[in-house]
Structure 1
Amino acid sequence: MPTSSTDHDRPIPIAQRGAVVMTRRTTDSPPIALPPDARSAPSRRLGLIAVIVTFGGLLFGYDTGVVNGALDPLTADLGLTPFTEGIVVSNLVFGAAFGAVVGGVLSDRYGRRHNILLLSLVFMVGTLGCVLAPSWQVLALFRFILGLAVGGASATVPVYLAEVAPVERRGGIVTRNELMIVVGQFSAFVVNAIIFSAWNDVAGIWRVMLLVAVLPAIVLFFGMLRLPESPRWLVARGREDEALAVLLQVRSPERAHAEMAEVHRLAEEERNAKTAGTVDLGVRWVRVLILIGAGLGICQQFTGINSVMYYGTQLLGDAGFSANSAIIANTLNGAFSVIGVAVGLSVMNKIKRRTMLLGGFALTTTFHLLVGLSALLMPEGDAKAWFVLAFVVLFVFSMQSTIGPLVWLILSEMFPLKIRSLAIGISIFVLWIANALVALGFPPIVEAVGISNAFFAFAVFGALAITFIATCVPETKDRSLEELESDFRARYA
């Protein structure tokens, strides 16, 4: 599950709510005292803002997950082959890779709110184009357009949330988007199961499954019309009065005026830090660090998590479930994905990053082997189908509670401020491309070598990932950006 990173060049809370908040910076700036973020009407408005904005994450999840249950009727209707199935599914992910890059640029230039409004319209156009597509080629084109919106949302929604939230609540508010993504996928699986169970004999029923995504896109559009722009973006554009007006909507007056100085400081640091470009790739330690970031993205996607999230219904059908049973059983993958992310977010700050990441890959690799062995050695029948389902669900839970959120967190923590935009941009682009390659290649590979060998291949990638993490990936928990940069300069000078 491609998700989005938090913005760790912003203040990190080191005091609890209820007293004056001191912020510890990852740069040399002195601490800044802020009044407490008291629960109030502005605080409740911030909660409403978070609900509306994270509909972008919900759409991200729904649009990546809906094809899972829609693929069988879609294949029968449009005459897809395993190769064209891969094209239709992966085109959204290829679009997302470019959408993340373009979305970040547009967000910086025209504003976070403006970009989310535009994305909601692209979600509508892409969805309606898919619903009305007369051929797989047209469907693939509009899936690419839909992917631009998905990628743009992945780059813009977390940034908006991080910039509008108070420092001591930022982590909880930003991670709501991560949760909404998997809730969106789970919702897609449930909607597919309900629609398919009730009307599986209706021609073109897959179009109804896709059409449901228009509803949250409409909510997002009309909701964003009533929401403010990011105060940090407004300050960066010299629109001081507007920025203060926004803060007064979501903070107490005392807190809003106090935060203006902090917003000024952050905007100035960002302007001074944005000096990195392609010339920095000539520095060896920078190249190595970016390669590690890209490698983490590849490792995350080559767990094969999205082969399950995109093709889980077909996978369970190949394992022995009937079409109707497979689409219902697939909802367990969505449910345990949501549970896994919730568990991961609750424990990740209590365990070292590398330890948790290595444990996650050890678990997912084990379940890859168990899925492969079940598919290879067990006789055809209900027992085989249920064993494959159980091990796939455990794989999804293990992945989403460890590797999924951790890779994004490490990417947000490991890059010095000067190269952060460049490094994270490259890493996330590579992550999306790896995601697309898995989506494109999984159907023809399963047809050619079977479920067992496909999951044995994922197990091999898992073993390689464990080696890569153990030898190359730095520990980032409780370490400043300056410490990490110093280590890399010394090691790869």
Structure 2
Amino acid sequence: MQKKAIFLIIYNLYISKGGKLNLNTQHKSFLFKVILISTFGGLLFGYDTGVINGALPYMSEELGLTPFTEGLVASSLLFGAAIGAVFGGQLADYIGRRKNIVYLALLFFISTVGCTLAPNVTIMVISRFLLGLAVGGASVTVPSYLAEMAPAEGRGRMVTQNELMIVSGQLLAFVFNAILGNAMGDHPHVWRYMLVIAALPAIFLFFGMLKMPESPRWLVSKRKNDAALSVLRKVRDENQAQVELNEIKEAFAKEKETKKATFKEMIAIPWVRRILFLGIGTAVVMQITGVNSIMYYGTEILKDAGFETKVALIANIANGVISVVATLVGIWFLGKVGRRPMLITGLAGTTTAHLLIGIFSLTLEGSAALPYIVLTLTVTFLAFMQGAIAPVTWLMISEMFPTRFRGIGMGIAVFCLWIVNSLIGLMFPVLLATVGLSITFFVFVVLGLLAITFVSKYLPETKGLTLEQLEHQFRTYDKRGAQEGLNKKAVR
């Protein structure tokens, strides 16, 4: 009884706040277990992308990494994630969401052990690439599983728990890096201990998901309607379960009648082509802020500014804390503020932070105050990034594509996001080593100004519009543009 009471309290605090859910204690406690276990995929996503931040300085010494191979070690995970994101959804459609997460947990464990035991750069890069496949697969499969298990009233909050777990995983990575770096900094294999910790949540995810049910929507797609109803009864009352099963069956029947969208078709239709341009542009805007240069190389940046490695590891925890807090604030702001002003404000904040880092690292080089100024500015940067840019980006990418093109459109946009992310991860340490801290951040200032220009000139406001109204807006904009072109020709 005590366990059920705890599950109910936490579920009400984090999920049902802001909307009444017609669920009993048993349903809520089971949904909490679903969230807790499945979002360990998000925790692993965060930990594995954040742990390199502290492990890299120690790894570089033992494996003899150059600035380029440092970038290769960090970015190989991101290249893998790009591929994992593209094929992860297709595999989940084929074998099921639950089973796919189980296999991803196994891949997380095997690749983590591979990274931990890597004797050289080649094995490390291969293992990190495999780890990236798991990260990319989890980035699309876990939110899908949560969305399909959640009641309609709590779907938004339930799915956003995965984003919260990602930044929490990064924070945990920074904390363990600081503890191990300061307690065992003189040990030659300290970085291996940092990496192997990720094996524990992978084991929890594997065995936990074995006890979880399959998504009811996937079961209906495989004509296992009785099994789907059985799952729905675990998370809904009897009437809701039956009504939702009928809705899923009707929706699936309509989907089967609809011709599958193709990339060629997206390019051929002008208004859809414009949406694809905006989707890719929005994804690229998020990455050229340089957010992951701080999440992956924060310790290196603070060392370059003047901190010793052990102090930099502790100071870097502040970046993890602000990411978690700002994500919570950003989720709250999404319902209060328009997408465009939120995104432009966030970009203005991150670009200003980059500009100040560049100026102070140039004018105060060698000063005792510089590392503390840089730390303050990286924390400020992440407050704008995680509180405004990140939540808006993922939301806009998911809502701007019309239903028929949403799967393929989001797949292309997210693939581009990961590719740009990996290129920045590859080139950042090279830039840092060749042109220095100040010039590197001035480059991000230029990219930030380009991002603000793109959002101001091209990105429409989507808040307050239904998906159908958005589609109508894009269609009519295309017609207006065509008519204006004909008018110009007539004048000539």
The question of a shared fold, defined as TM-score above 0.5 by the shorter chain, is answered with yes
- The amino acid that maps onto 2:120 is S
Give the counterpart of 2:270 among 280, 284, 295. 284
Give the counterpart of 1:63 among 48, 54, 71. 48
Once the two structures are superposed, residues 297-356 of structure 1 have per-residue CA deviations (whole angstroms, 9 ceiling, x without a partner) of 111001000000000001100000011100110010011011110110011111111111
Query: Does 2:143 correspond to 1:152?
Result: no
1:76-475 aligned within 5 A: 76-273=61-258, 275-280=260-265, 281-475=267-461
Distance of aligned partners of 1:383 and 1:311 in 2 relative to their CA distance in 1, 3 Å threshold: same
Q: Calculate the aligned-residue CA RMSD, in Å.
A: 1.2
Q: Secondary structure at the match of 1:444?
A: helix
> Matched residues in 2 for 1:102 and 1:201: separation?
41
Once the two structures are superposed, residues 398-437 of structure 1 have per-residue CA deviations (whole angstroms, 9 ceiling, x without a partner) of 1000111110000111010111111101000000000000
Is the contact made by 2:68 and 2:426 (CA closer than 8 Å) also made in structure 1?
yes
Once the two structures are superposed, residues 434-461 of structure 1 have per-residue CA deviations (whole angstroms, 9 ceiling, x without a partner) of 0000100000011111111111111111
Q: Secondary structure at the match of 1:382?
A: coil
Q: Secondary structure at the match of 2:369?
A: helix
> Matched residues in 1 for 2:461 and 2:250: separation?
28
- The amino acid that maps onto 2:333 is V
State the Cα distance separating 1:126 from its structure 2 match.
Answer: 0.6
Count of aligned pairs between the two proteins: 461
Distance of aligned partners of 1:37 and 1:60 in 2 relative to their CA distance in 1, 3 Å threshold: same
- The amino acid that maps onto 1:358 is I
Is the contact made by 2:23 and 2:235 (CA closer than 8 Å) also made in structure 1?
no
Q: Secondary structure at the match of 1:477?
A: coil
Is the contact made by 1:273 and 1:417 (CA closer than 8 Å) also made in structure 2?
no
Is the contact made by 2:299 and 2:316 (CA closer than 8 Å) also made in structure 1?
yes
Percentage identity across aligned positions? 50
> Matched residues in 2 for 1:222 and 1:440: separation?
35
TM-score by length of 2: 0.92
State the Cα distance separating 1:254 from its structure 2 match.
Answer: 2.7
> Matched residues in 2 for 1:274 and 1:442: separation?
43
Once the two structures are superposed, residues 100-141 of structure 1 have per-residue CA deviations (whole angstroms, 9 ceiling, x without a partner) of 011111001111001000100000111011111110111000
- The amino acid that maps onto 1:363 is G
Distance of aligned partners of 1:460 and 1:41 in 2 relative to their CA distance in 1, 3 Å threshold: same
> Matched residues in 2 for 1:342 and 1:367: separation?
21
Q: Secondary structure at the match of 1:229?
A: coil
> Matched residues in 2 for 1:454 and 1:471: separation?
26
State the Cα distance separating 1:198 from its structure 2 match.
Answer: 0.5
> Matched residues in 1 for 2:362 and 2:275: separation?
40
Q: Secondary structure at the match of 1:358?
A: helix
Q: Which shifted more, 256-265 or 464-473?
A: 256-265
Once the two structures are superposed, residues 181-214 of structure 1 have per-residue CA deviations (whole angstroms, 9 ceiling, x without a partner) of 0000000000010011101111111111000000
State the Cα distance separating 1:265 from its structure 2 match.
Answer: 2.8
Report the counterpart of residue 482 of structure 2 in structure 1: none
Q: Secondary structure at the match of 2:345?
A: helix
Once the two structures are superposed, residues 342-384 of structure 1 have per-residue CA deviations (whole angstroms, 9 ceiling, x without a partner) of 1100111111111111111111111111111111111413201
Is the contact made by 1:321 and 1:382 (CA closer than 8 Å) also made in structure 2?
no
- The amino acid that maps onto 1:382 is A
Once the two structures are superposed, residues 50-70 of structure 1 have per-residue CA deviations (whole angstroms, 9 ceiling, x without a partner) of 000000000000000000000
> Matched residues in 1 for 2:278 and 2:222: separation?
34
> Matched residues in 2 for 1:158 and 1:221: separation?
17
Is the contact made by 1:301 and 1:431 (CA closer than 8 Å) also made in structure 2?
yes
* Structure 2, unaligned runs of 5 or more: 1-17, 480-492
State the Cα distance separating 1:266 from its structure 2 match.
Answer: 3.0
Once the two structures are superposed, residues 224-249 of structure 1 have per-residue CA deviations (whole angstroms, 9 ceiling, x without a partner) of 00000000111111110000000111
State the Cα distance separating 1:273 from its structure 2 match.
Answer: 4.4
> Matched residues in 1 for 2:366 and 2:112: separation?
38
> Matched residues in 2 for 1:467 and 1:204: separation?
46
- The amino acid that maps onto 1:185 is Q
> Matched residues in 1 for 2:257 and 2:133: separation?
30
> Matched residues in 1 for 2:422 and 2:317: separation?
23
> Matched residues in 2 for 1:108 and 1:91: separation?
26
> Matched residues in 2 for 1:168 and 1:209: separation?
40
* Structure 1, unaligned runs of 5 or more: 1-15, 19-35
TM-score by length of 1: 0.92
- The amino acid that maps onto 1:285 is W
- The amino acid that maps onto 1:39 is N
Once the two structures are superposed, residues 152-193 of structure 1 have per-residue CA deviations (whole angstroms, 9 ceiling, x without a partner) of 000100000000000001111100000000000000000010
